[in-house]
Amino acid sequence: MKILVANVNTTAKMTDVIAASAQAVAAPGTEIVGITPDFGAESVEGNYESYLAAVAVQEAILTYDGDYDAVIQAGYGEHGREGLQELLSVPVVDITEAAASTAQYLGHRYSVVTTLDRTVPLIEDRLLLAGLSQRCASVRASGLSVLELEEDHDRTVETIVAESVKAVEQDRAEVICLGCGGMAGLEAAVREATGVPVVDGVAAAVTVAESLVRLGLGTSKVRTYAPPRPKHVTRPVASRG
């Protein structure tokens, strides 16, 4: 089985980290391929960058040379999953939805701990659109930017742990979702501090994608995610297609 894991930003180092995290939880025989878009922002932290990333990721997947069995969109609260589902018949899994749906198996209410406060509405909207918001206790911002997550590991752990503890003690969350693909590897520290299950979106998305492939299931091509109608499309200059 081969799964493409698409980073939503252009930082190749982050793609490598996300892909390594995905491969670590993948079943034997599952190959993870990290995808970095050719254009877009070095980190995605707002609506403009998110919409740009949606197009960039779709172009990167369309121009990938090779077969694959599923695609994971590794951006928390980002746009574009629906477009990928129109373009592809294989399963497309978004890490935001994978984390939240997994959390609901583990506790009554969950909280998401993410990066900057400006990304909170994007995550809330994605959860609402996916029908996963009813059992969301809160979406908390750590105040760290995406790129800052890798600058000082100790500070990152301390900040994410502090917000997670508040989510459990103040918001009554029973499960924590790590709200950024770049937070992979922080599960143990958060779990130890809070005493609750901690879900990493990338890891959850890999197991969901693997399950769908093994079940022989793909994206429905009836109505909502039917293929785009044939027409001329003018592609971005940076595209390889």
Q: What is the mean pLDDT of residues 125-140?
A: 96
Predicted local distance difference test score (pLDDT) of residue 237: 63
pLDDT class of 241 with cuts at 50, 70, 90: very low
- The answer to whether the CB of 181 falls within 8 A of the CB of 76 is yes
What digits encode the pLDDT tens for the residues 75-97?
A: 999 999 999 999 999 999 999 99
Residue 193 has pLDDT above 60, yes or no: yes
Round to whole Å and give the CA distance between 146 and 24.
22
In this structure, are residues 8 and 51 in contact, taking their beta carbons and an 8 Å threshold? no
- Residue 209 · residue 3 · CB < 8 Å: yes
Give the β-pairing of 92-94 and 70-74: parallel
User: Above 60 in pLDDT, residue 238?
Assistant: no
Q: What confidence tier does 177 reach under pLDDT thresholds 50, 70, 90?
A: very high
What does the pLDDT read at residue 236? 65
Contact 80, 7 (CB under 8 A): no
Query: Any bridge partners for residue 31, and if so which?
Result: 2
38-70 per-position pLDDT tens digit: 999 999 999 999 999 999 999 999 999 999 999
Q: What whole-number distance in Å separates Cα of residue 38 and Cα of residue 57?
A: 9
